[in-house]
Chains A and B, each alone.
Chain A
């Protein structure tokens, strides 16, 4: 039985094998975790598709392959047994011969075991494209899809060749042939990462600029005409976020960026380049929330099985405010503002190895206990790498929580293609003036980063006003 790189979401074309959890020769049960992968969207443990013996690993750790590439083979339980215990079964002679020897060490060298397995895809070398319209938002439930299917495209891409074909066009392929260029090395800005004519022309300009420029002391990743194809896949060198290289000093430790680190870098730079970020800061007295937690926390825990957290209150108030100011729950698509039909709330979760933003789907339909359960569940599974790709996509607004570590407020970067992100500061006691008296109250700063292309200051302030009002209105009856 072939084990393939799973399709983790419609727009995902490839995945990196981070770790094999079994060695060749090990027996595996169906659904038992077999390997860990990292993709654009999510890190996940992939369960074994069937029970049996892991015969061979075709793609070593650290390599990136196309979706649907065969990464390993499993001999069915019965077949493996007969092969191991009796003479090789005639029909399974070849696999049996390979299983019989004691478990081979996991292939570590760069030697794909099967010709059809594409060599590790070299990193894309995406020079930052000239500022143009942002990529269209990924389809989100509740958003009206394009009416005509003319420009949709097939999914389930199998081989590298097919992928390259779907990601360019006849024109671009002809231009690439004329210029002896490799389309896979060009950053595509078209739908689903397609390399468009403009991308190719930009690529040519970049090469020209690079070749005509005066000798540069250090190679500029963005201007490198054709990055070496065999560059290690686990460390794509030239993400848009990749910095200039420099020689480390003696005593420095050099580590390649992980896939997740690279993706975060890429997304953050992309967002800063896309949105016109503006921040506003509000302060809220959360004494009543502290009291609710103190007085009802225990009961809430018993009834719902999860703790009553400050984040759940914020999530509830956020949903209320988004309903009151729907443009905060929108996305910019080309020159159209897409008002999302539902609120899918992203919650940033810090991990030891990075950051992920699981999404509470239909958060707008939930009460505080529903939100609290979803947050606990998603955060827990984020930390144990058990999120499904659907659970990290499709968000329409995001909450992040610098206050967990004591930060008073943050200036978060918008999670594209959303138009706003809320930062929740630490709760700390501060002297505040209440009706000419100074009182000691638990206070928290709320910061909003919004995209000024869509949201003007007045609208952002109105949104924050609604958020504060809704937060202050939370009482026992909401629990």
Chain B
């Protein structure tokens, strides 16, 4: 067992997969000599050399396009976006090329695109986004977002071994705030399985990423008021673990869909639709979304604090829903 931070767990996952599988390589901006903007790839160039840790010019479309080609030819690229916001520059490569290859020619694209997402670190509008909803409606993609160091490593390893493209979002607020004892032995966290982080009886909170920690904080506070939150960490956003979602909702009869991205068209909307369609007769109140307002992420620290749906927003929504 070793105590590792969330970002160290990502580093370890990369390292172990590169050691065990020579087809795994890393590509991105400043991933080699500099070791990655957040140090996720520190030391990898030294161990694996320039052929397996490739620094590129600033061209996200090029990085992803090259990765797709390499993957089709038997490699397992792990492309880093310096900030996941910039994946938009490679949107066509992701949704039209990578995601559709399996359906068009039965060609696997075993590629991982990973990068830091999320706010709370004063990154402003281009360096704080949560972009899962841009990709949710693209069949052929998988999307994961770990909330713990254990999952960060296990999901990354599962993503690298997956035969199809996986978007791997790392919440940068958690990078150095989360520390856990991790097992020495090899393990993966299977894609598509949610995890209950807290058992509760009154309201199910369905969430992922940094919001899992906010939800646990809110649950602690609400427990003192006699409101019992059940916290479900989705871990995989595409495909969703519907069974776990149904189980939570049918047990608590009330549900909050909680995420950090903007409200409109967010994953909360999809979750609310699933809950309404599949658990309608188990609902004792409306599915409620707690999410960010429909504006870009503000740069000003006080505005960012007001923008982010933290524990207080969840607490007040839960109180209202509990009374309902």
- Interface on A for B, CB 8 Å cutoff? 133, 136, 146-148, 150-151, 169-174, 190-191, 194, 196-197, 334-335
Contacts and interface: CB of A to CB of B under 8 A. Distances in A.
Contacts of B253: 169, 171, 197
Q: Which of B253, B280, B289 has the largest number of chain A CB atoms within 10 A?
A: B253
Interface stretch (B73-81, B82-90, B315-323): B315-323
B201 to A, nearest CB: 11
A151 B288 contact: yes
A171 B324 contact: no
Contacts of B288: 148, 150-151
Contacts of A334: 225, 319, 323
Interface in B275-305: 280-286, 288-290
B225 A335 contact: yes
Interface residues of B, number: 19
A171 B225 contact: no
Contact of A170 (B225, B280, B316): B280
Contacts of B290: 148
A170 B324 contact: no
Contacts of A194: 324
A151 B283 contact: no
5 contacts: A148-B316, A150-B289, A151-B324, A171-B281, A191-B323
A170 B282 contact: yes
A172 B284 contact: yes
B286 A150 contact: yes
Interface string B255-280: 00000000000000000000000001
Contacts of A335: 225, 319
A194 B254 CA distance: 14
A171 B283 contact: yes
Closest 3 CB pairs of A and B: A174-B281, A171-B284, A197-B284
A136 B321 CA distance: 12
Contacts of A136: 323
Nearest to A136: B323
Contacts of B225: 334-335
A191 B324 contact: yes
A137 to B, nearest CB: 12
A313 B175 CA distance: 65
B320 A151 contact: yes
Given A191-B324, A334-B319, A335-B225, A196 B289 contact: no
B308 to A, nearest CB: 15
Contact of A148 (B281, B284, B317): B317
Nearest to B224: A335
A151 B286 contact: yes
Contacts of B281: 170-171, 173-174
B227 to A, nearest CB: 10
A478 to B, nearest CB: 43
A169 B284 contact: yes
B225 to A, nearest CB: 5
Contacts of A133: 323
Contact of B323 (A169, A172, A190): A190
Given A171-B281, A172-B284, A150 B320 contact: yes
A391 B106 CA distance: 72
A123 B318 CA distance: 32
A366 B158 CA distance: 71
Query: Which of B282, B284, B289, B317 is packed against the most chain A CB atoms within 10 Å?
Result: B284
A173 B225 CA distance: 28
Nearest to A132: B226
A170 B289 CA distance: 19
Given A151-B288, A151-B324, A170 B283 contact: yes
Contacts of B283: 169-171
A133 B284 CA distance: 18
Contacts of B324: 151, 190-191, 194, 196
A141 to B, nearest CB: 20
Given A171-B253, A335-B225, A196 B320 contact: no
Contacts of B286: 150-151
B282 A171 contact: yes
A191 B283 CA distance: 15
A459 B285 CA distance: 39
A169 B285 contact: yes
A69 B284 CA distance: 28
A98 B324 CA distance: 47
Contacts of A150: 286, 288-289, 317, 320-321
Nearest to B285: A169
A150 B324 CA distance: 11
A450 to B, nearest CB: 24
Contacts of B321: 150-151
B281 to A, nearest CB: 4
B230 to A, nearest CB: 15
Nearest to A133: B323
A190 B322 CA distance: 9
Contacts of B280: 170
Interface in B37-85: none
Nearest to B283: A170
Given A151-B321, A174-B282, 4 more contacts: A146-B316, A171-B253, A334-B319, A335-B319
B323 to A, nearest CB: 6
Interface string B233-264: 00000000000000000000100000000000
A169 B275 CA distance: 14
Contacts of A174: 281-282
Contact of A146 (B282, B289, B320): B320
Q: A151, A190, A334: which has the most chain B beta carbons within 10 Å? A: A151
A236 to B, nearest CB: 25
Contacts of B285: 151, 169
A178 B41 CA distance: 58
A251 B310 CA distance: 68
A344 B174 CA distance: 49
B270 to A, nearest CB: 16
B323 A147 contact: no
A165 to B, nearest CB: 13
B276 to A, nearest CB: 9
A151 B255 CA distance: 12
A147 B324 CA distance: 15
B224 to A, nearest CB: 9
Nearest to B276: A170
A146 B317 CA distance: 9
A278 to B, nearest CB: 24
A169 B255 CA distance: 13
Contacts of A148: 288, 290, 316-317, 320
Nearest to A189: B323
Most buried by B among A136, A171, A197, A335: A171
A334 to B, nearest CB: 6
A433 to B, nearest CB: 51
Given A151-B324, A191-B324, A196 B284 contact: yes
Nearest to B290: A148
A147 B284 contact: no
B288 to A, nearest CB: 4
A31 to B, nearest CB: 40
